[in-house]
Amino acid sequence: MHEDNLHAMRHTAAHVLAAAAQRLYPGVKFGVGPVIENGFFYDILFPEPVSDDVLKKLEKEMHKIVNQGHEMAREEMSIDEAIAFFAEKDQEFKVELLKDLKEKGTTKINPEEAQDIDVEHPDTASIYKTGEFVDLCRGPHVGNTKEVGAFKLWKLAGAYWRGNEGNAQLQRIYGLCFETKEELDAYLTMLEEAKKRDHRKLGKELDLFIFSDLVGPGLPMWTPKGTILRNKLDEFVWSLRQARGYQKVEIPHITKKELYETSGHWEKFQDELFKITTREGHVFAMKPMNCPHHTQIFDRKQHSYREMPQRLANTTMCYRDEQTGELHGLSRLRSFTQDDAHVFCRESQVKEEAMKIWDIIETFYGAFGFSLRLRLSTHDPNNMEKYLGGLDLWDKSVSGLKEMLDERGAEYFLGVGEAAFYGPKIDFITKDSIGREWQVATIQLDRNLPERFNLSCVNEAGEPERIVMIHAAIMGAIERFLSVMIEHTAGAFPFWLAPVQIVLATVSQDYIAFAKELEEKLRTAGVRVELDASHEKLGRKIRDAAKNKVPWTIVIGAQEADGGDFKVNVFGQEEDLLIEAGELIDRAKQESQFPE
């Protein structure tokens, strides 16, 4: 089915949900009901809070409405007529949207609300009738409710009206919608698998990270095992960068607001910043990104063209004041760690430096078996107020990225309006083991910050030459990458990355001395090993190691103590691995190396 038709189908399903809610719960008030990936949601204020049991009732009523075959009838009216129309129906949220459109224009309308309001024609409003239900909506919809397809109400959540905690809290009802029942069933199966792989669940089971109510939501803390994961990933990225001439730098976690005023971040993102006022009255911010700080390290002295490019790398924590309702495990946080790098180079060096970053990205994600597809994220020429710099500068940057993509022979698709506010980027998108897509690494081309900070080098003629800045995040945020990685592997990490690589399980107390000696040799060789010399039965020890998804479990008994081969139980494999006694340590060291 064409994407436009599927969008219309899902949009209609949202209206059918609202119509069902109105039938079953007279007096409900409606927020917005946009289309989202794989379905839709509707924000509804019920007379009383509802529970998950209500979803079954609503879904049953939705099927009745679909089978009745109501036409999706569209009408247009003026903004004032629409305000009066919805005021009479006591739909205060719809009235608020319409008044905002009339009095403040389209700038106050967010993308979700724009599915209800036609921002391209702000003088008129359209409504759709579904039986006795009438909703404010720009469309499009399918012609008749019988065309909705296969749907299921999925989950219930709370949502503040227009994302403001000072407003009423509505019930957000999520629904799934596909063309066929087979597609819906396949997606539901994937969701069940995703529950088993949920990184929040596995993070607790594998003792990787925690959240504390005393510390606050969106602020993860890492256990010893989780910290090993973070550090090994960071070391892997650094090994790839170091081989290509990067240098490490370090920066503070706060800054005067003047830095972000110069960069443009204060104007664009000040509502998302954690702000600090000192006892002397100075305003500081906790850094939400690192690029402005890095410009100051570059600008500490005048660079000759012979010193270019300058490649600065920095793994450091950033902070953003995300709304509580938008936080989600490690995927959306208030504190997160970026494996950040910025290349300061001449125009003639941009392509070569970007290609080096591309090589790092392919090597890193290839090590985990991730295939990558590419999106060229560009500016929206019709909304240039969202970006720094003029249209000519943006067109030049986009053209340069297109040349790189073409030279690399890469297939890509366009994401108009998906650029960072300071420059276009190549986004790398991967698919995990159960078919979900994630945007991961980026290469961002920036000619705006060098202009705003007056960054230059001295060229061959002894004259100042404006430089270009390339932003390069490989994991993006270590936490978010780990959320993807944990779910992709279901917590079964490759040997080189696993927090515990080997468990030595003794058959009886008689072999503890030998096992301790072997443990020490492995640890000295840099292998992360644990000894289970408890009084538990051997089967329990093996099951415990498997529960913790330890890559290798080695039973230590008479054969091993007498110098025989080691029988290695490899997690996820049916057959054991036999390793000669004299080769075990070298083999474990070899498996511990970063992938090539």
* pLDDT per residue as tens digits for the range 554-573: 999 999 999 999 999 999 99
> Which one of 15, 70, 152, 471 is the catalytic residue?
471
Cβ atoms of 323 and 163 closer than 8 Å: yes
Residue 354 backbone dihedrals phi, psi, to 5 degrees = -65, -35
Per the annotation, the verdict on 60 as an active-site residue is no
Per the annotation, the verdict on 471 as an active-site residue is yes
Angle at 465 between CA 460 and CA 471, to 5 degrees: 120
Q: Tokens 């492995």 identify what position?
A: 522
- Domain limits of the chain? 3-194, 204-486, 502-591
Q: What is the pLDDT of residue 251?
A: 98
Give the C-alpha separation, 148 to 66, whole Å: 7
Characterize the bridge pairing of strands 39-45 and 35-36.
Answer: antiparallel
Give the C-alpha separation, 489 to 474, whole Å: 19
Sheet holding 456-458, edge to edge: 303-304, 456-458, 464-466
According to CATH, the topology of domain 204-486 is BirA Bifunctional Protein; domain 2 (3.30.930)
Element (H or E) spanning 209, and its range?
strand 209-210
Q: What is the pLDDT of residue 1?
A: 44
> Which one of 425, 447, 480, 541 is the catalytic residue?
425
Cβ atoms of 174 and 151 closer than 8 Å: no
Q: What is the pLDDT of residue 375?
A: 95
Q: What is the pLDDT of residue 124?
A: 80
Q: Phi/psi zone of residue 595: left (φ > 0), alpha (ψ -120 to 50 degrees), beta?
A: beta
Q: What is the pLDDT of residue 384?
A: 86
Per the annotation, the verdict on 444 as an active-site residue is no
Q: Tokens 């408890």 identify what position?
A: 534
Quickly count: other Cβ atoms within 10 Å of residue 517's Cβ.
Answer: 11
Per the annotation, the verdict on 342 as an active-site residue is yes
Considering only CA atoms, which of 562, 342, 328, 587 is closest in space to residue 450?
342
> Which one of 43, 118, 287, 291 is the catalytic residue?
291
Q: What is the pLDDT of residue 432?
A: 87
Count of all residues that appear for the chain in the document? 596
In the chain, helix, strand, coil percent, each to 5? 40, 25, 30
Instruction: Tell which CATH classification among 3.40.50.800, 1.10.620.20, 3.40.47.10, 1.10.760.10 matches the domain 502-591.
Output: 3.40.50.800
Q: What is the pLDDT of residue 2?
A: 61
* Whether the bond into 292 is cis, omega within 30 of 0: no
Residues near 214 by beta carbon (within 8 Å), at least 6 away in sequence: none
pTM of the model: 0.82
| Beta-bridge mates of residue 425 | 377, 444
Instruction: Tell which CATH classification among 3.30.310.80, 3.30.980.10, 3.40.50.720, 3.90.480.20 matches the domain 3-194.
Output: 3.30.980.10
What 3-state DSSP class applies to 205? helix
**Which segments of the chain have a pLDDT < 50?**
1
> Which one of 310, 338, 444, 501 is the catalytic residue?
338
Quickly count: other Cβ atoms within 10 Å of residue 483's Cβ.
Answer: 23
| Beta-bridge mates of residue 130 | 72, 133
> Which one of 199, 311, 320, 549 is the catalytic residue?
320
Per the annotation, the verdict on 282 as an active-site residue is no
Residues near 274 by beta carbon (within 8 Å), at least 6 away in sequence: 285, 286, 319, 320, 321
Characterize the bridge pairing of strands 283-286 and 303-304.
Answer: unpaired
Give the C-alpha separation, 383 to 585, whole Å: 60
Helical segments of 273-421, H only: 291-298, 350-366, 391-408
> Which one of 342, 447, 480, 488 is the catalytic residue?
342
Q: What is the pLDDT of residue 110?
A: 67
Per the annotation, the verdict on 356 as an active-site residue is no
Give the C-alpha separation, 541 to 549, whole Å: 12
Q: What is the 3-state secondary structure (H, E, C) of 310-322?
A: EEEEEEEEEECCC
Per the annotation, the verdict on 320 as an active-site residue is yes
Give the C-alpha separation, 347 to 393, whole Å: 13
Q: What is the pLDDT of residue 163?
A: 81
